Amino acid sequence: MEFRVRIVTKNRNPVEPDKTAVAGRTEEPKKEIAISQLIGVAEAQSIAAGTHSDPFSVLGGHKTNAGYVVCAFDPGAEKMAALTGKNKVTEMMPVPDAPGVFVGKLARKAVYRLRGVAGDSQWTQDDPYRFSPVLGALDLHLISEGTHRQLWRALGAHVINHEKTSGTHFAVWAPNARRVSVVGDFNHWEGRRHPMRCLGRSGVWELFLPGVGEGAVYKYQIIDEHGILLPLKADPIGFGAEHPPQTGSVVRDLTQYSWADEEWMGRRGNLQNISSAITIYEVHLGSWRRIPEQGDRRISYLEAARQLVDYALDMGFTHIELMPISEFPFDGSWGYQPVGMYAPTIRFGPPNEFRALIDAAHAGGLGVLIDWVPGHFPTDAHGLASFNGSALYEHADPREGFHQDWDTLIYNYGRSEVANYLIANALYWLHEHHVDGLRVDAVASMLYRDYSRKDGEWVPNKHGGRENLEAIDFLKRLNEVVYGECPGIMTAAEESTSFPGVSRPTDHGGLGFGFKWNMGWMNDTLEYIQHNPIHRKYHHHKMTFGIQYAFSENFILPISHDEVVHGKGSMLSKMPGNEWERFANLRTYYGFMWTHPGKKLLFMGCEFAQSSEWNHDVSLDWHLLDYEPHRGMQSLVRDLNGLYRDTPALHVKDSNPAGFHWLDLYSEAESVFAFARFGNPGDPPVVTVCNFAPVERENWRVGFPEPGQWQQILNTDATVYGGSGRGHVDRISTENRHWQECPQSAALTLPPLSTLVFRFVQHQ
């Protein structure tokens, strides 16, 4: 059966007048055109079924042999018209056997809008399929090549003005898909309504949706290469997300923020290098502080901009390190299983409020680091797993692409587009949110193919070895790019093995990180401090061994969240003895840590000796500050931060063996340690003496590297910190008595469980 459209045209031949006249008017001749001349029925049916792989070849306006034809699809419309010019209306005809598909012919190519009618309802909208592509050849080339460093500016959802029309441009990489559609409230989550345009062989699909703007919730509906409809997917480069447990992406306009931190950004490089005083306060925003009067809710980014920033500054920390901010589905993962790598979690507010937190920190002179997780991602159906129906971001072989410990997937670092996705993500946080550095999580799991695997459960590299060569190349490239593009930033690796050169430059054979967490020091010293003092003499080496490798990397000494969770107890509960001894032990340990070579990191709550193990579902126990011992511990950490910052000998050579010398290394039986720290020429040296026994040591002789007067600048047994007040002196004078390889020495009184720190003042 053939269906025809009656098209009305004017007779433009002046020689042959119209042959029909009605009531004094000339009637225009009528010409019938078959619908089959305007659109193929099979194509129309494919559009209606949502299976057409190239919707732009059918929908929108097209110049054909029959003229300029407009085709539209709206399954909710009973009638459809194209509106052009000044209220000019061209009625469109429904295509039989293709419900929702309408076709019509315009007199000429023109900008048009669509008017739909259903019952008493009528609506007018721009046709997404009349717009030209947004992405250009350079973007597509760089994406295909895996070198697009500003990937987030090409892909994702961007509120723009395109061809004089406001809306949102959506773009996503799904190279193996047969069809990709944008779905959301704006189209009733109907995947047939807005299928996207595939841009050649790039694997990129894009669509500009007029009228869609900030706050719109969306996902991608994908049909894989086998014709299977996949679970709806969140945007891999979405800038916003719904509140969990909802999993949609949210359109966020990142252009609407004015930064006020230019001064900080210009000077931060001088505050984040190996000679700087760096003390980091690690924070889980969801449990740092809650509002009990309001249902125990979490604080927001804006509240943290005041409360957290003010607190960290008052405590003397130089940096805040936020546990992963990237959007994640499960609270219990603390953010370490992210799905929205480009979205600051909505748990605390939208992206611009996160930026306000960064701005506030910078205004106070406080750096902000974030934990960044390129090592694995969760298997959640709305995430990256089998994104377009096959292994895209992950390895297909579970021996390479699955973490058994965490039930997560591993990125395919050897695929250029995947490596680019991650490196661009790092740049995104540094450029768009002005974070000052990245602490890269679980680096050890990336470096080794046999990480936490038995024989036969992993695939050797091309040389037959266990090293993950692709991950190693990725990490090197990451550090080269971020340090090259973002002046003054820092990167730190959580790497728990002895992999060589983690913080060595890549042109010297290293991975290129700025710093490495010293996990060995942390494990050894925590093991030592948990022993009963009477047994510590058998574990003396746990406190001294770290110096043997302390300068092989640029180390950060971490007491992180991992040490106060999962049955490990709080830092205070690790300490042996009665209540007074527990506090004294912890004060002594902190004194040792802050004067030992290496930058410092302390997890929230440890600064006031939280009694209970950390629980991510509740606030820290701030009420403990009503009690003197906890208040004293907080005061000690505040003073340690100030001492470390203001004493060059304690930080300028943290990564240089010339900055350290053992004075008392072999007093195992007494559990005493003494060492000297040195800065640059002219910086007064410092001597630290630690007594990890619960007994006082009188007349304990210590060698001093300079003759003359030394001022006591810290005594962890001071009453202001909750101590007994013993061992306090203002100044001491050395004697001309050779001791511990020093020509001069002094006899000290060492309080039980205490750390004493002395700074050289003047020669006698």
| Active site (catalytic) residues | 441, 494
Rounded CA-CA distance 184/250 in Å is: 10
Q: Beta partners for 367?
A: 319
Helices (H), 189-296: 262-267, 285-288
Q: Please answer whether residues 516 and 502 qualify as being in contact, where contact means their C-beta atoms are separated by less than 8 angstroms.
A: yes
Residue 15 parent element (H or E): none
Helix (H) or strand (E) segment spanning residue 249: strand 249-250
- Distance, in Å, from the CA atom of 147 to the CA atom of 143, rounded to the nearest integer, reads 6
Whole-Å CA distances, 498 to 50, 191, 447, 467, 501 = 54, 51, 11, 13, 9
**DSSP symbols for 77-98:** -SEEEEEETTTEEEEEEEPTTS
DSSP string, 638-688: HHHHHHHHH-GGGTTTTT-GGGEEEEEEEETTTTEEEEEE--STTSPPEEE
The contacts of residue 175 (CB under 8 Å, 6+ apart) are 202, 203, 388, 392
**DSSP character at residue 635:** H
Sign for the pseudo-dihedral over CA of 247, 251, 257, 259:
positive
* Sequence-ordered list of residues with C-beta below 8 angstroms from that of 312, at least 6 positions apart, any chain: 281, 320, 361, 366
Assigned token pair, 237:
């480069």
Sign of CA dihedral 693, 698, 701, 706: positive
What the block records as the tokens of 488 is: 């003054």
Neighbour tally for 256: CB within 10 Å: 10
Q: Is the peptide bond before 245 cis (omega within 30 degrees of 0)?
A: yes
d(CA 641, CA 5): 82
